[in-house]
Amino acid sequence: MLELVDVGPRPLKQYEPIVGEEVVEEIRELAAPLKGARIAQINATTYGGGVSELLRSIVPLYRGLGIECDWKIISAGPKFFTVTKALHNALQGAPYELREAARERYLMASTYNAQLLEAEYDFIIVHDPQPAAMRYFKGRAGARWIWRCHIDTSEPNEAVLEFMLPFLLEYDALVFTMDHFVPPGLEHQRLATIVPAIDPLSPKNMALDGGICDEIGAWRGIDPNRPLVTQVSRFDPWKDPMGVIDVYRLVRKEVPGLQLALLSTIAHDDPEVWDMYKILVDEVRGDDDIHLLTNLIGVGDVEVNAFQDCSDVVIQKSIREGFGLVVSETMWKETPVVANRSGGIPLQMGDGVGGFLVDNTEECAEQTLYLLRHRDEARTLGLAGRERVRQRFLITRLLADELRLVSSLALRST
């Protein structure tokens, strides 16, 4: 059987002080017709990315509403994940020659995982390219199937998209973060748009005392008396960590003593991360004010929370970005953000709400320096960012959107 991730139920009422009684009651009404339904959420890893964070929060909420929701992980080895990372990159537009050996490896693992899905479900939600072919090889199995794409597929590698299309067309619904992300020429009977969200009560986003944040930073080598800029992202070329280092070096010329923290989770489904990590280690050698902090040394959600909270500015310099949960996470903590104008980031923030959008390294450095020099304005931007997240990008809104989609498929099956 597919590996089952151990999560328990979480009462929706805990979110009422944040989102209000009306929102909570609406979700309960949406969930009522689905009480007792069986839902499987399937992805590739339990940690290291936005998908796992979403599932860690939303599955317990389903259970708290009386819906039998399981979170399951596919089983595969490093060679499979090398292929799927290449497919992931290609669907975001990277060049890639899909050879027969890679096709066979993907198809064999997909067939195997389809066989491992033994339990009976009413709805199965499959996330991203790694498990996408399971529906094709499993058959309907009495369920309604949803494929949820969390990446920017607006300009995909045509050969890879052609390879993936037969698997995607088997689904009852395809979900993208933005209409713009739907691949050109994709025709399907049910296309939906659902924007991701953050969990304000998770360890990464719950309120921390400022003193605790400073202590956590100091434990990781940060001087609380000097300015700090941070990026939280996988060590991945799409996130442009080298560009962030360039920004830091430009700003440090004007702000002596500036510190930079690059926080990342190294996940088992991302074999390319080690190459990027080695490049970064070599690049920062000799500069004690650049800190590479990962789960390899015990950095986890609480540390990320603390760094997003105590940083003077958080940078998100993604070249391509499906959504970028770290932007909303940071705005929730009232910390200003300087971010590339890419993918789903402009959905979350605009100039004057949460921080500044930029288009290149020079602009990023300029706006970061501006925020370091204008602390009152930075504070105002941060306050506006938190309110925007409260209104649009909390897990309760995501849960309501998903419940509406599942309910609409249930009606179609009757």
Residues 186 and 290 in one domain: no
242 within domain boundaries: yes
Residues 134 and 237 in one domain: no
Other residues' Cβ atoms within 10 Å of the Cβ of residue 256: 8
State how far the alpha carbon of 80 is from the alpha carbons of 43, 87, 153, 281, in Å. 14, 11, 21, 27
Decide if pLDDT at 148 tops 50.
yes
Residues 345 and 247 in one domain: yes
Residues 362 and 289 in one domain: yes
203 within domain boundaries: no
pLDDT value at residue 158: 95
Mean pLDDT computed over 87-102? 95
Decide if pLDDT at 184 tops 70.
yes
Q: SS3 for 209?
A: coil
202 within domain boundaries: no
pLDDT in tens, 35-93: 999 999 999 999 877 899 999 999 999 999 999 999 999 999 999 999 999 999 999 99
Residues 35 and 140 in one domain: yes
Under the banding of pLDDT at 50, 70 and 90, the label for residue 414 is: very low
Could you give the count of Cα atoms lying within 13 Å of 127 in the half-sphere of its Cβ? Answer: 23
Burial call 344-367: b when 16+ CB within 10 Å, e when fewer = bbbbbbeeebbbbbbeebebbbbb
Tell me the average pLDDT of the chain.
Answer: 95
φ, ψ (nearest 5 deg) of residue 76: -165, 160
- DSSP code of residue 271: T
pLDDT in tens, 207-265: 998 899 999 999 999 999 999 999 999 899 999 999 999 999 999 999 999 999 999 98
Other residues' Cβ atoms within 10 Å of the Cβ of residue 294: 17
Decide if pLDDT at 385 tops 90.
yes
Residue 88 maps to which CATH number? Answer: 3.40.50.2000
Mean pLDDT computed over 18-43? 97
Distance of CA 315 to the CA centre of its chain: 16
pLDDT value at residue 210: 81
Measured distance CA(203)–CA(200) in Å, rounded: 8
176 within domain boundaries: yes
Residues 312 and 180 in one domain: no
The closest of 303, 233, 290 to 265, measured between CA atoms, is: 233
What's the domain count of the chain? 2
Residues contacting residue 46 through CB under 8 Å, at least 6 positions apart: 5, 52, 56, 73
Measured distance CA(164)–CA(178) in Å, rounded: 19
Find out whether 164 and 110 touch, Cβ atoms under 8 Å: no
**Least confident stretch, 310-319, 371-380, 405-414:** 405-414
Mean pLDDT computed over 104-133? 96
Decide if pLDDT at 294 tops 70.
yes
Residues 153 and 13 in one domain: yes
204 within domain boundaries: no
Mean pLDDT computed over 179-190? 93
The whole domain housing 322 covers 210-392
Q: SS3 for 165?
A: helix
Decide if pLDDT at 411 tops 90.
no
Residues 310 and 224 in one domain: yes
Decide if pLDDT at 103 tops 70.
yes
pLDDT in tens, 7-19: 999 999 999 999 9
Residues 115 and 222 in one domain: no
> What is this structure's pTM?
0.93
Tokens representing residue 198 in the block: 């953050």
Measured distance CA(111)–CA(379) in Å, rounded: 52
pLDDT value at residue 123: 98
Mean pLDDT computed over 269-282? 88
375 within domain boundaries: yes
Find out whether 128 and 146 touch, Cβ atoms under 8 Å: no
pLDDT value at residue 134: 97
Measured distance CA(102)–CA(385) in Å, rounded: 43
Decide if pLDDT at 412 tops 80.
no
Tokens representing residue 66 in the block: 């009386």
117 within domain boundaries: yes
Residues 230 and 302 in one domain: yes
Residues 296 and 220 in one domain: yes
Q: What percent of the chain has pLDDT over 90?
A: 92
Residues 245 and 313 in one domain: yes
348 within domain boundaries: yes
Under the banding of pLDDT at 50, 70 and 90, the label for residue 351 is: low
∠ CA 5-202-400, nearest 5°, is 80
pLDDT value at residue 413: 56
